Structure 1
Amino acid sequence: MENTPTFYQKMQTDYPEVMKSVSRLGEATRAEGPLDEKQAQLIQLAAAAAMRSEGAVHSHARRALKAGATPEEVRHALIVLISTIGFPNVAAAVSWANDVME
């Protein structure tokens, strides 16, 4: 997979069945409802920001863009979180998202 972090590739090598199961679970949860891939990735991006997970913000920003989100939509999905998770957390998440958009 293009742009897949080295540690994730190692996890896939070391634990192939676990990682396949994680991937299938993600696919199944997104397929169960009416949200499209872009919407699902933006929601997961917001959750990653709330968890302060830099790697997950990178991953879901990248996936949201691949699913058709614009950089402005990615940034807006984070900016709307200011009143929920606070400005410092959002600023960090925007910085991490910019890592994959710039």
Structure 2
Amino acid sequence: MSYELPAPFKEIAREYPDVCEAFQSLGTQCHNAGPLDEKERKLAKLGIAIGTNSEGAVHSAVRNALQAELSKEEIMHVGILAITTVGLPNAIAAITWIKDLLDKS
């Protein structure tokens, strides 16, 4: 599944290319800093996004997980696991955001 970067990010990238390049480089360095494989990193990033209660971050993490060929079941499991950590209302919100993208794929 390919996707286009969100318009606000593209706008910032045009206005501040050095900042966006540094941000992307930092992301690459963080991903390469430890022993987690790509699948584990994508699941961890989704869990972190859910924990921040950010719709945009959850959407981004789901897009990245789908691009890495994680299954819908694996992605949904992270949302279910969030129930006991972030609480039912926040987890339901996150599951709704996850389904926004899963329903389109």
How far the C-alpha of 1:83 sits from its partner, in A, is 0.8
Rounded to whole Å, the distance in 1 between the matches of 2:15 and 2:31 is 26
User: What pairs with 1:22-61 in structure 2 (closer than 5 Å)?
Assistant: 22-61=23-62
How far the C-alpha of 1:86 sits from its partner, in A, is 0.5
Give the percent of matched residue pairs that are identical in Structure 1 and Structure 2.
38
TM-score by length of 1: 0.93
1:41-64 per-position Cα deviation (integer Å, ceiling 9, x unaligned): 111111111111100100001101
1:10-57 per-position Cα deviation (integer Å, ceiling 9, x unaligned): 111111111111111111111121111221111111111111110010
- RMSD of aligned C-alpha atoms? 1.2
SS at 1:78's partner residue? helix
Rounded to whole Å, the distance in 2 between the matches of 1:71 and 1:99 is 12
Alignment partner, residue 6 of structure 1: 7
Rounded to whole Å, the distance in 1 between the matches of 2:17 and 2:101 is 26
Compared with structure 1, are the counterparts of its residues 93 and 59 closer, same or farther at alpha carbon in structure 2 (3 Å cutoff)? same
- Give unmatched runs, 5+ long, in structure 2: none
TM-score by length of 2: 0.90
How far the C-alpha of 1:3 sits from its partner, in A, is 2.7
Rounded to whole Å, the distance in 1 between the matches of 2:27 and 2:14 is 19
